[in-house]
Amino acid sequence: MHHLSEQEQLRRQKLTQLQELGVEPYPSELFDVNFSAQEILDNYRPELNNFQEVSLAGRLMSSRVMGKASFAELMDSSGRIQLYINRDEICPGEDKTLYNTVFKKLLDLGDFIGVKGHVFTTQVGEISVHVTELKLLAKSLRPLPVVKTKKDEVTGEEVVYDSFSDPEQRYRQRYVDLVVNPHVRETFIKRTQLVQAMRNYLNDKGYLEVETPILQPLYGGAAARPFKTHHNTLDMTLYLRIANELYLKRLIVGGFDGVYEFSKDFRNEGMSRFHNPEFTQMELYVAYKDYAWMMDLVEEMVERVALQLHGKTEVQVGDNLINFQRPWQRYTMFEAIEKYTGVAIGEMDEAALRETATKLHVELDPSMGKAKIIDEIFGEHVEPKLIQPTFITDYPVEMSPLAKKHRDRPGLVERFEAICNGKEICNAFSELNDPIDQRQRFEDQLELGKRGDTEAMVLDDDFLRALEYGMPPTAGLGIGIDRLSMIMTNSPSIQEVLFFPQMRPEAL
């Protein structure tokens, strides 16, 4: 139990006084709400005399007591509205306790109240609720941080101080952040709209939304370190999924033409402004299609998301105005590296690549094979420069153990990533459906694992068995929902688009 501040002790005393007066601080009966603050502010017309019986509930956010009458402010999920409270109207009989004691002395900012009354306009023209009934719905025992504004005497501008703006505090106490920084809600509403726009787009195409296991006996479908857990009854190690790819492909083997899943995935890796140990991906697999077809789908879907969220294809992200209008720029990986470094690496072996990387000041370690070296060069010199949405295609085979070999270019695979604002937002393949080739690539990954690559893939015999029954040619896609949300909401870090990001333990 933390040490109670003076304010918290006071609030607990008020709680006791309320109970002594017979006022239940946490009543259980329903309080019926029929309008939101914003509905009233948007639609009230004095000449229509509408909103004559309103019932609202929310937090008490300010209070100005002026003898027998008071003004207060109520905040619900839609916004704030002014209340006008008159002693003799909320206490029509002899007993004025509700106004004189409960409202004036025992209610605090942050308390939840319910009010009934009618809407009118004050003399200064502010739409307000004339309260005829007032009820305490939940007592708040901790004071909210008070954000104050004050006019700068030199510039005359409003200056905010005591704001609840420390990122660590905001992420730890998101419940407070949402109350005192209402703009934060907009980010999360937009995130939900983004997911809904994608879901509607995929459903309209006739693809089936499915669910696959989060606890897996083997982790697969990506190059990453997993989280490990133990199942007591089966006495076996299980892993939290790093991707859902291999299960969704099993469903294509089983005869579905198009399946997708919004999945929580988990990777036991470093944390940063772009990485949280649990994150959301949407993966989609469609039979009888290839990666070129999937590129067109991604452009169309993301353009539609931008239009639904912003009403236009342009989105401001930091200092950049990003335009999602189709078609997007396309380069092969080798073209992009040559464009931004001046070096053609297409024909190089591992030794030559190491030498090139060193010249380009890219740090390497001995466990890195050809693919990792190319990836490091790309990550250092190309990716940060790709601000407008860009497709990078045709990756080296070693970088993509689950992608199909390129139909025209030996040593490459049919894969693309979409890069935007200097970060990858999606990854897609013409899926590898040759079980013999797939087994060989898993075995190559095992060798990398022996060299010390902690992210190398494991061999999944059941998945190979599924492929041996035959999987039609298939296009597959994974889109990072958190990364896309960051771009679509102009958020500088992944923690801004996760309600409850992972944090170090707090010393309470």
| Six-digit token string for 356 | 């090139």
432 φ, ψ (degrees, to nearest 5): -70, 120
Q: 69: buried, middle or exposed (CB in 10 Å: 19+, 13-18, 0-12)?
A: middle
The residue length of the chain stands at 508
* Range list of β-strands (E), 122-231: 127-138, 148-151, 158-161, 208-209, 215-216, 228-231
Q: What is the DSSP letter of 30?
A: -
DSSP string across 230-268: EETTTTEEEEE-S--HHHHHHHHHTT-SEEEEEEEEE--
Direct distance between the N- and C-terminal alpha carbons of the chain, in angstroms, rounded to an integer = 8
477 φ, ψ (degrees, to nearest 5): -145, 140
Neighbours of 73 (CB within 10 A): 18
| Six-digit token string for 454 | 């902690």
Q: Is 211 annotated as a binding residue?
A: no
Q: Is 417 annotated as a binding residue?
A: yes
Determine the distance from the C-alpha atom of residue 43 to the mean position of all C-alpha atoms in its chain, rounded to a whole number. 32
Q: State the greatest distance between any 2 C-alpha atoms of the chain, in Å, as a whole number.
A: 94
Contact present, 245 and 283 (Cβ < 8 Å): yes
| Six-digit token string for 147 | 């954000």
Angle at 70 between CA 65 and CA 74, to 5 degrees: 105
Residue 469 has, within 13 A of its CA and on its CB side, a CA count of: 12
Contact present, 105 and 96 (Cβ < 8 Å): no
Q: Which residue ranges are tagged as binding site for Mg(2+)?
A: 417, 424
Q: Which residue ranges are tagged as binding site?
A: 417, 424
